[in-house]
Structure 1
Amino acid sequence: MSAINVFSAKPYQNQLLASVEAYFQACHELPSPSIAFTATTERLWGQGLAYNGLSGFPSDMPYFCLRVPTGGGKTWLAAKSVALVNTHLLRVEHSVILWLVPSKPIRQQTLRALKDRLHPYHAALREAGPLTVLDLDEAKTVTRATLDSSTTIIVATRQAFQVEEEECRKVYQSSGALMHHFEHLEAAQRAALLTEGEGSEQTVPYSLANVLRLRRPFVIVDEAHNSRTELAFDMLARFRPSGVLELTATPDLERTPSNVLHSVSAAELKQAEMIKLPVLLETEPNWQQCLADAIGRREALQKLADDERRAGGAYLRPLVLIQSEPRRTGVDTLDFERVRQELMSNHAIPADEIVVATGDEKGLEQIDTDFKLGIADPACRVKYVITQKALAEGWDCPFAYILVSMASLSSATAVEQLLGRVLRQPEASHRKAKELNQSYAFVVSRNFAETAAALRDRLVAGAGFERRAVAEFVMAAKPDQKRFDFSSGKLIAHPVTVTLSEKPELKAVARPIRDKLEWDNKLNTLTIKAPLTEDETEALKATVQSPAAVAVIAEAAEVSRTTAIEFFQTPAELGERFRVPQLALRMQGELQLFDDPEVLEYPWDLSPYDANPTAEDLKLLGAALKVSEGGSIDIDDASGKLVSHFLPDLQRDLGLVYKPENWDELRLATWLCKNIPEPSLTHASKRAFVARWLTQLLSNEGYTLARANLQKFLIRNRLEAQIKALRKQAVGKAFQQTLFGEEASQRVAVSDEYAFEFPPIYAPSRDYDDRFGVFDFRKHFYGRMGDFDSGEEFACACQLDMLAQKGRLKFWVRNLVNRDGSSFFLQKADGRFYPDFLCQLPDHDGQPGPVLVVEYKGANGWTNAEDDRLIGGLWANLSNGRCRFVMVTEKRWENIEAEL
């Protein structure tokens, strides 16, 4: 599990963390964490998702899942989430985090990385402040002082909490080392502890379980697949968690559904240069030839890597991972010894370039011992890794480029795991040679279609790829195998019907061949419904006797795999470019992209503003105090609905155990300044505003410094919201003046110098699933299509496609929202406007035609869309005819036609 290059976060990682922060804030703003989940997913993705409670846990406990495919940096994201948990959910300086991993090897590696001050995981954790990382054994003697003064991460396997495990029993055993945690407890705290015995014999064990119950740990489940089907997960409820965060590539969506808050796509990872895609697949029935082809590919990649290194690129030695067959007594198998012998004898590969990693052979462990950087060390010569089932858990090397399977992908787990190794991009950075940004699979198999389908299944089941996206990510390396790639969705096979002089004995052929055929007894015709391979053709020819029938079958089969096949390709696949001019600002005489209102020149200082808590601030602080003192608010005045008790009870418990220090006003103001990130302000300006605001707060009746210390996180949030609102006002004025004031045309421009180009890969957060109707879209720029918000929007898309089929548009695209690098937007003062559709008009005199932006608004949305109409109109007006903009409502399609 080597450190990924995440010192500067990738766009998708920032977006994911922003989603976590938004959910935590909504948990406090809305009546319950379950309502907050639905509201947050609605705000983020345009569709509110139902919340699924966890069996055995409080129904309103914050519980959510982050779906990140293989290679996306799940562990780093988990580490970054800890500061968000403390600040925005628990509102405490220190917390206990119970960090669960799937196995002992992963636990050791996670502990090592989280404790290593030079590791990116530790750096991400440190954002939460002082830090202590422990294993479960060390946690059994943890001191109260440690928990009071640092965020404490306890790393354990999920299996450690199974009843039959010795580790689990020790968690519940009384220990004198933990006795001091139970001194001077309040009655409410004592009532929450686990007890032993009955009646007068009842005792409270000084156990780690009870320490955890007092501290209300937040649970992070790293690699969370299937954990909720285990008893171990239910056992966690006994520690009274404050919340549960799962990170996984493959969340459970059926049996015990996860609440997927944010889903990262494989296309986003590819765009962020985290993984090598597509996977180019070759099948070859002869195992020796298959291995030889893989060796040839490795040598070609090595040459490209060496050329790049001579030009100043990073060191790279492409590796081949070979999955051999397990040995079986009395059966001739392609086991690791036979494969190693083939490499050495027939290909003259030196022994020190081959390593074997099986249950008994520990070659990889030895390499990690011998070389500082393990297998990636330039001093290491290994180029071929032969494995049998799966590699050692946690072993990772992005130098792996080629997967060779001797076993026709029969071992699903091993293939998933090896594919995961092969997908990771070396040092997570783009290489100049296209071939070094792709992965390769060589499989011993006669059936390409079956193998491609199996490989795609493995990417979905193991690596967490979306089913609709995976077709684009496994491609035939050889053109002649491309025609058998039925699961790609790009192949249209037309049936071939011939008349035969005799009835073929179809029962004699294997079922997969029979499924491709149809015999009509009345007409004596054989229909080949799907292309037949040469091997399948031979089997079919054997079902007839006469040379004439054999000749007819041979000719029909040849047609089935050549002229009867049609490849459907989208404009993007055909190499069309779709570039859209963007808004740019002239700053100090130079044009620059307008993608952030912060670049506007505006007077921004807090000194002119009154630094006073608002009536809303005082109301919220008063309600929070009532909660912390043991009261609760049962009914929400606005909705009349019962309000969740989970978070109020949690805040009270944390207030009892994490006693705030008695800071003076100066120290509290310093802490607030440090914890309100606002890079657009000078420190002096922020400090003066915070100090004045705090003084005003403390002048309110009944408001003491002790109370301010108790509520400092809530005060921080209210201050941050007020400063953001004031800055928004200042930005809004500057935006209006710069873009719409006098002589705006001299400051703002729309030109090809700054143009957004739609990338080759399209990754909607949700694909359209025919919920508003079925339509055969033929002119969409991509093969996939993002979902629509309404039936009217779907009708608008149908209208655009029909116009394109008539030649009035060249092609169009369903624009995505909030997908960095994949979405076109126009910057507004308070956010970004992502139009629904962009259309390329037909070429004129050899030049691309104008671009038309179409935004659809339902009757309710029209009145709130004035800002969108203004910025869209400005963009079109400044483009010298290159761009056009129309906002449509009530299905007035004639407004679109008027712009063509």
Structure 2
Amino acid sequence: MSAFTPKRYQEQVLDSVQAYFQACHELPSPSIAFTATTERLWERGNPYYPLSGFPSDMPYFCLRVPTGGGKTWLAAKSVQLVNTHLLRCEHSVILWLVPSKPIREQTLKALKNRVHPYHAALREAGPISVLDLDEAKSITRATLDTSTTIIVATRQAFQVEEEECRKVYQSSGALMHHFDNLSPTQRDALLRDGEGTERTTPYSLANVLRLRRPFVIVDEAHNSRTELAFDMLARFRPSGVMELTATPDLERTPSNVLHSVCAAELKAEEMIKLPVLLQTEPNWQQCLADAIGRREALHQLAAEECRAGAPYLRPLVLIQSEPRRAGVETLDFERLKNELISNHNIPANEIVLATGEEKGLEQIEADYPLGIADPVCPVKFVITQKALAEGWDCPFAYILVSMASLSSATAVEQLLGRVLRQPGASHRQAKALNQSYAFVVSRNFAETAGTLRDRLVAGAGFEKREVAEFVTAAQTEQARLDLEGHAGRVMVRPVTITLPEKPDLKSVPKPVRDKVRWDGKLNTLTISTPLTEDEAEALSASVQSATAAAAIVQAAEVSRTTAIEFFQTPAELGVRFGVPQLALRVQGELTLFDDPEVLDYPWDLSPYDAAPTADDLSLLGAGLKVAEGGVIDVDNASGRVMARFLPELQRDLGLVYQPEHWDAIRLATWLCRNLPEPSLTHASKQAFVAAWLTDLLRRDGFNLGRANLQKFLIRHLLEARIRDLRQQAVSKAYQQALFGSDAASRVAVTDQHAFEFHAQAYAPSRDYDGRFGHFDFRKHFYGRIGDFDSKEEFECACWLDIQAQQGRIEFWVRNLVRREGCSFFLQKADGRFYPDFLCQLSGSTDQPKAILAVEYKGADRWNSAEDDRLIGGLWAKLSEGRCRFVMLKDKRWDGIEEALN
């Protein structure tokens, strides 16, 4: 299997996890750390909701990743972060819970496969052991002491009525050795059987887990939000809980969403096929024929690209049939298969049935090495009824056909998930191969589009505001009926006609009745909301005369055509918006400057800098108190003594994982191996670590035993020191390269490296919700607008939009922060600067139009923004007039005025 290259959004998810784990140790509690971390990452701190039945300060958080975003890989990569930054131990126990047996088998197979990216991600934690629940019931202490152990199980396996669960709590001689030489503190923490003097401590897997304080990973966590599920987890005394889901619970038992990935980020990173082009057709045979025609067109495009060197691709159609019903003729799988064979000449071997009765997909997996994606496999159509087999995944699926009018929510969500995934996670040359398709038997396009959008929100994890642009009409005439898809950007003019008679509105279905109004004095009928052809037919039946009926039909046609005026954003109109970025000349070629590591700077560690600081010694002293017995606090309100969660956890883990007695050389070697810093030579890192450790061991109260016990904390302190020294070297090189006397020969701003604001790649972590006031923005590049950090920023956006409406600016965009693929940035030595607004200025058509970047800073943050002003000014200077930069404060809009002239 080829090497796996993570997407930028995946790296950001993992950065967020690491930042939270580190904050858990730096701040008073994991709950405070959660709010502080989300505020630092997203500029608005999220409240922390503890889990009922668990310690209130147990680290508990959720990663929200839409369908197709790589949740399992993220979970596997997080294991190393758990060990290093949260538990601060070399080995741990990970309890990995999945929703079903098929998913369990699929996950186990991938995690154990040494060439699979999931296994490679796990191995970053060091030696690993991947077990199922049966294997875990005879696990040895040596395995737990020498490897990070991942136990993969279904959540149902721990429910009381399940036999597997009872075995988890039963005593087993194979586990007896885990309980030798336990301290009183450890024995007090174990579960017991019986009552009174007859109580015994079973040698059970449950008690082994309680000793080892497992970290729990919950896959598809939205399926585990019951009180029973939480009670089950609490019995194992977990060290923390991480949920992964596309659709977290935000109301009943709210998940603590640490990082939320948007579908637009997946689209920008070429992970999913968007938009979904929807077409409705009341005749089921015509609907199927249209889907077949679309598949053939896609197949031709794929074949042309394949001949030009692109990877093999055979577009598939997933057809959702109706269930069989006794005595009633339905569009069941047999009837659809016959239609494909008899009326469309589709060979039988190109059709596979995947229903409760037919196991065609399992047979395909058995017959072909690459399953349905194998070039030798002939299958082009998959007919299912409710849902496909769990775990089945084929990015070749392009077209969803529903004969059931999207009535089965679960099936539609699952089939959509199959269709959305991008083959090979990379875009194809043909635009049509980067989109998904849905054909539905229905007379009402608007209703069908709304249902499909709901399914993307409820099942695939899309944001409510982004689905409008991700489900679009394949046909122009149907697009006009999609008012929801143009929410806030459509004007509907009421259509009024005079009739010779009063219509019998009581005979009309209520949905149609709600769209019209009769005025008895004027004898006029007003259509306030567009009517479909079917609705017009129903309304025309409410009058007797042919003249009145014809007038209603004609007025209805006007209501859904010329009476609708759409306001389209520049993005929807296909306007290109590219912003030149900073480029650095490396070995004679211009390269996008997106990482200060590309700078040529002398960097080495000197043993003279290797000494623990006073803060380091203070942290080590506090850490020793934890290891010796935990830190306790007194609740001022009740006077009760309270143990803090993380100190107690560190104590428990220290009791279980007894440190080996290493000498100074072995300890230094371990520290070097666990300090990833590719820019350093091994010799310089080794010399630095040895000098730092030698200095520490000379101090009173420090010896090898203590250093060995605290080696993870020492590793953390060394990492911080090395990072600080490297940052100093980078900053010096950055200053010289970008602001030295010969900077113009090394740095440039040209269209050769320009950031493109793509039409469907705008993914705010929060949309503006009107909290600072309401304004009818007419000139924003996208239909959505990212949230503002302050009322002054909102007022700045209003001012820009007014200038645009007056013709001084063509359009503007609220630039996003830390949204890869959606954000323009300027690289600094210690991070990235994301200007608040980018504006396309008006100008002549014979030369590139100027770009204006605007940053608003509150007076309290003005002095700390000096680096932002410098890099913004340099960007504008090097662009030779193409780009302009303004940083404002105190609502001094006159600063923008100057830049517009």
Structure 1 length as normaliser, TM-score? 0.97
Which of 59, 64, 71 matches 1:74? 71
Amino acid at match of 2:519: D
1:620 matched to 2:619: yes
For the 8 Å contact 1:217–1:241, the answer to whether it is kept is: yes
Aligned-residue offset at 1:420 = 0.7
- Structure-2 residue corresponding to 1:334: 331
Please identify, of 840-849 and 474-483, the stretch whose mean Cα deviation from structure 2 is larger: 840-849
Matching residue of 1:296: 293
CA distance in 1, matches of 2:146, 2:729: 40
1:322 aligns with 2:301: no
Deviations 1:126-147 (A, max 9, x none): 1111111111111111110110
**Which one of 370, 374, 377 corresponds to residue 380 of structure 1?**
377
Larger deviation, residues 489-498 vs 101-110 = 489-498
* CA shift digits 1:42-65 (9 cap, x unpaired): 011110000000011111000000
Which residues of 2 match residues 387-402 of structure 1 at below 5 A? 387-402=384-399
Tell me which residue corresponds to 2:511.
Answer: 512
Q: Which moved more, 1:845-854 or 1:315-324?
A: 845-854
In structure 2, the CA distance between the partners of 1:829 and 1:635, relative to structure 1 (3 Å rule), is farther
- Residues 1:309 and 2:303 are matched in the alignment: no
8 A Cα contact 1:195 1:203, kept in partner: yes
Preserved CA contact (<8 Å) 2:214 2:239: yes
CA distance in 2, matches of 1:847, 1:203: 85
Residues 504-527 of structure 1 show CA distances to partners (whole Å, capped at 9, x for unaligned) of: 111212122112111122322211
Which residue of structure 2 aligns with residue 105 of structure 1?
A: 102
Which residue, out of 316, 341, 345, partners 1:344? Answer: 341
Q: 2:826 corresponds to which residue? A: 826
Please point out which of 270, 273, 293 is paired with 1:273: 270
> Is 1:443 equivalent to 2:401 in the alignment?
no
State the secondary structure of the residue aligned to 2:55.
Answer: coil
Q: What residue identity is the alignment partner of 2:528?
A: K
CA distance in 1, matches of 2:596, 2:398: 43
The aligned runs of 1:73-472 (5 Å cut-off) are: 73-472=70-469
- Report the AA paired with residue 33 of structure 2: A
Q: Which runs of 5+ in 2 are unaligned?
A: none
Query: CA-to-partner distance for each residue in 1:293-335, whole Å, 9 max, x for gaps?
Result: 1111111111111111111111111111111111111111111
Shift of 1:397: 1.0
Matched pairs, number = 895
Q: Which residue of 2 aligns with 1:582?
A: 581
For residues 420-475 of structure 1, give each alpha carbon's deviation from its aligned partner in whole angstroms, at most 9, with x where no partner exists: 11111112121111111111111011111110000000000000000000011111
Q: Specify the alignment match of 1:700 in structure 2.
A: 699
Counterpart check, 1:715 vs 2:714: yes
Contact 1:31 1:644 in 2 (8 A): no
- State the distance in 2 between where 1:538 and 1:292 align: 26
1:79 is paired with a residue whose SS is helix
Rounded to whole Å, the distance in 2 between the matches of 1:829 and 1:394 is 44
Cα contact 2:607–2:692 (8 A) shared by 1? no
Deviations 1:54-88 (A, max 9, x none): 01111100000000001111111111110110111
Tell me the CA shift for residue 786 of structure 1: 0.6
C-alpha distance in 1, partners of 2:94/2:201?
Answer: 23
Question: Hey, what's the Cα distance between the residues in 2 that align with 1:647 and 1:838?
Answer: 44
Task: Describe the superposition over 1:237-259 as per-residue Cα deviations: whole angstroms up to 9, x where unpaired.
Answer: 01100000000000000000000
Is the 1:485–1:491 Cα contact (8 Å) retained in structure 2?
Answer: no
Work out whether residues 422 and 439 of structure 1, in 8 Å CA contact, stay in contact via their aligned partners in 2: yes
Matched residue type, 1:234? D
Residue identity matched to 1:30: L
SS at match of 1:526: strand
- Give the secondary-structure state (helix, strand or coil) at the position aligned to 1:566: strand
Measured in 1, the distance between the counterparts of 2:450 and 2:438 equals 13
- Single out whichever of 373-382 and 743-752 deviates more from structure 2: 743-752
Match for residue 867 of structure 1? 867
SS where residue 239 of structure 1 aligns? coil
- 8 Å Cα contact 1:228/1:234 also seen in 2: no
Opposite residue 480 of structure 1, the aligned amino acid is: E
1:863 counterpart letter in structure 2: N
Query: In the aligned structure 2, how far is the partner of 1:316 from the partner of 1:212?
Result: 46
Structure 1: state its 5+ residue gaps.
Answer: none
AA at the equivalent of 1:581:
P
Which residue matches 2:781? 781
**Which 10-residue stretch deviates more, 181-190 or 840-849?**
840-849
Q: Which amino acid aligns with 2:778?
A: R
Question: Using a 3 Å threshold, how does the CA distance of structure 1 residues 494 and 340 change in structure 2: closer, same or farther?
Answer: same
- TM-score using structure 2 length: 0.97
Question: Post-superposition shift, 1:718?
Answer: 0.4
Query: Distance between the aligned counterparts of 2:828 and 2:640, measured in 1?
Result: 36
Amino acid corresponding to residue 768 of structure 1 in structure 2: Y
CA gap of 1:156–1:263, structure 2 versus 1, over 3 A, is: same
**Cα deviations across residues 78-129 of structure 1 (Å, max 9, x unaligned)?**
1111011011100111100000000111111111111111211111111111
Question: Does structure 2 conserve the Cα–Cα contact (< 8 Å) formed by 1:731 and 1:829?
Answer: yes
Match of 2:561 in 1: 562
Q: 1:845 to 1:168 in 2, by over 3 A?
A: closer
Q: In structure 2, what residue type is equivalent to 1:743? A: D
Distance 1:582 1:385 in 2: 46
Are residues 584 and 396 of structure 1, via their aligned partners in 2, closer, same or farther at CA, if it must alter by over 3 Å?
A: closer
Distance 1:806 1:642, change over 3 A: farther
CA distance in 2, matches of 1:626, 1:228: 37
The Cα of 1:230 is off from its aligned counterpart by: 4.7
Shift of 1:889: 1.1
Greater Cα shift, 417-426 or 549-558: 549-558
Closer, same or farther in 2 for the Cα pair 1:661/1:52, shift >3 Å? same
Q: Is the 8 A contact 1:585 1:592 kept in 2?
A: yes
Which residue number corresponds to residue 595 of structure 1? 594
Aligned match of 1:607: 606
Residue deviations 1:589-608 (CA, integer Å, cap 9, x gap): 44332222222222211127
Partner Cα distance (2:826, 2:302) in 1: 40
Counterpart residue type for residue 872 of structure 1: G
Match of 2:235, SS state, is helix
Shift of the alpha carbon at 1:762?
Answer: 0.6
2:408 and 2:668 map into 1 onto residues whose CA distance is: 60
Listed one character per residue, the Cα deviations across residues 663-695 of structure 1 (whole Å, up to 9, x for unaligned) are 111111111111111111111111111111111
In structure 1, the residue corresponding to 2:259 is in which secondary structure? Answer: strand
Residue pairs, 1:835-850, within 5 angstroms? 835-850=835-850
Corresponding position: 1:546 with 2:545:
yes
Amino acid at match of 2:769: D
CA 1:823–1:641 in structure 2 vs 1: closer, same or farther (change >3 Å)?
Answer: farther
Give the residue type in structure 1 aligned to 2:480.
R
Query: For residues 589 and 333 of structure 1, do their structure 2 counterparts lie closer, same or farther at Cα, with a shift above 3 Å needed?
Result: closer
8 Å contact from structure 1 (residues 23, 36) kept in 2 = yes
SS of equivalent to 1:225: helix
Distance in 1 (CA, whole Å) between partners of 2:418 and 2:602 is 52
The residue number in structure 2 matching 1:802 is 802
Tell me the residue number matched to 1:530. 529
CA RMSD of aligned residues (A): 1.7
What SS does structure 1 have at the residue aligned with 2:400? strand
1:353-381 CA distance string (max 9 Å, x none): 11111111111111111111111112211
The SS at the match of 1:629 is: helix
Whichever residue aligns with residue 805 of structure 2, its letter is Q
SS in 1 for 2:231: helix
Query: Per the alignment, in what secondary structure is the counterpart of residue 789 of structure 2?
Result: coil
User: Aligned pair 1:473/2:486, yes or no?
Assistant: no
